[in-house]
């Protein structure tokens, strides 16, 4: 191969290379990659570092996902704890509000009858015996409680002290089947004997004269007869009248004003002493 032929081959190779470069640049320009190619030509190391950094960031982002999920879970747990704390706080506030309302009702009850001296007592137990409907209170003989004292709540009559210990007392409820209280109806002024129905039974007023026209909704009060209870203590309301013209007396079913299942605080009337009238049931000289 002579020199002229070698030079001609070099020129053709150079021409092909330049033509290829021109075609490549045209393609890169049309595809928008010309700037990246020129940057690589000017500084190939920086381009390689940039490409590597992009891939590294992609991998880091992929690894960051689980960390973000864990952070979200921790945030949810923290917020749930705050919600639980707020719910407990609201429950405590509702309980305080209920206690305040109860004490306010008791205060208003005492203000309505200022002549009576009342001792506040907490209900600490309920008798589960089916033979006796009663509650246990946290005041006893050391507090001045004696057998026979009337017991009421903010809503009405609860019962009567049945027996005492030094620091507690048992109160028989007006719903006990052995309970009998002389009562009077507020509107008709009819009188009768209020009897408890025991566990699951109805409280009723028996021996009401037929001459009285009873109405549902009448307030039932203590009459004061018999000397066991003060006069005009609220007992409840009439919810049913049982009247038969063929009989001598009529009967009234009573809904007590007190919810005995939810009693928490009661009043013991300490300056009322029941009067024993049994002696007058016997004829003189008998």
Q: Are 191 and 225 in contact (CB under 8 A)?
A: yes
The model carries a pTM of 0.62
* Residue 59: pLDDT over 60: no
Identify the band that residue 53 occupies on the pLDDT scale cut at 50, 70 and 90: low
More confident residue, 99 or 258: 258
Is there a domain that residue 270 lies in?
A: no
Q: Which positions ≥6 away from 236 have C-beta within 8 Å?
A: 156, 203, 219, 220, 254, 255, 256, 257, 258
Residue in 249, 251, 196, 190 with CA at minimum distance from that of residue 223: 190
Tokens of 66: 């689980």
Altogether, the residues listed in the chain come to a count of 286
Identify the band that residue 71 occupies on the pLDDT scale cut at 50, 70 and 90: confident
**CATH number of the domain within which 254 lies:** 2.40.10.350
Identify the band that residue 147 occupies on the pLDDT scale cut at 50, 70 and 90: very high
Is there a domain that residue 248 lies in?
A: yes
Three-state SS letters, 10-53: HHHHHHHHHHHHHHHHHHHHHHCCHHHHHHHHHCHHHHHHHHHH
Look at 30-44, 76-90, 136-150, 186-200 and tell me which has the smallest mean pLDDT: 30-44
Q: How many domains does the chain have?
A: 1
Is there a domain that residue 225 lies in?
A: yes
Range of the domain at 191: 180-258
Is there a domain that residue 250 lies in?
A: yes
* Residue 7: pLDDT over 70: no
Is there a domain that residue 213 lies in?
A: yes
Q: Is 115 exposed, middle or buried (0-12, 13-18, 19+ CB in 10 A)?
A: exposed
Name the DSSP letter for residue 141.
G
Tens-place pLDDT, residues 120-129: 999 999 887 7
- pLDDT for 274 equals 79
The mean pLDDT value for 158-174 works out to 96
Is there a domain that residue 152 lies in?
A: no
Is there a domain that residue 235 lies in?
A: yes
Is there a domain that residue 134 lies in?
A: no
* Torsional sign, CA 5, 9, 15, 16: positive
């Amino acid at each position: 191969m002579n020199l002229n032929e070698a030079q001609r081959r070099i020129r053709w190779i150079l021409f092909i290379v330049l033509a290829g470069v021109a075609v490549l640049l045209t393609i890169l320009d049309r595809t928008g990659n010309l700037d990246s190619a020129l940057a690589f030509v000017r500084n190939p190391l920086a381009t390689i570092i940039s490409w590597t950094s992009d891939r590294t960031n992609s991998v880091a982002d992929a690894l960051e996902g689980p960390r973000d999920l864990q952070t979200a879970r921790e945030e949810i747990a923290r917020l749930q704890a705050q919600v639980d704390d707020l719910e407990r706080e609201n429950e405590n506030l509702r309980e305080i509000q209920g206690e305040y309302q109860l004490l306010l009702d008791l205060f208003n009850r005492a203000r309505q009858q200022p002549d009576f001296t009342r001792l506040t007592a907490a209900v600490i137990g309920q008798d589960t015996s089916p033979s006796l409907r009663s509650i246990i209170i946290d005041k006893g003989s050391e507090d001045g409680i004696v057998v026979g004292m009337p017991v009421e709540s903010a809503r009405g009559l609860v019962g009567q002290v049945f027996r005492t210990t030094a620091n507690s007392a048992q109160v028989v409820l007006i719903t006990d089947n052995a309970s009998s209280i002389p009562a009077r109806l507020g509107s008709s002024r009819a009188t009768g004997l209020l009897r408890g129905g025991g566990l699951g039974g109805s409280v009723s007023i028996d021996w009401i004269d037929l001459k009285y026209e009873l109405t549902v909704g009448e307030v039932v009060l203590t009459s004061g007869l018999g000397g066991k209870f003060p006069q005009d203590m609220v007992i409840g309301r009439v919810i049913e009248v049982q009247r038969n013209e063929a009989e001598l007396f009529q009967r009234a079913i009573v809904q007590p004003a007190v919810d005995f299942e939810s009693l928490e605080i009661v009043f013991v009337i300490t300056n009322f002493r029941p009067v024993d009238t049994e002696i007058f049931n016997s004829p003189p000289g008998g």
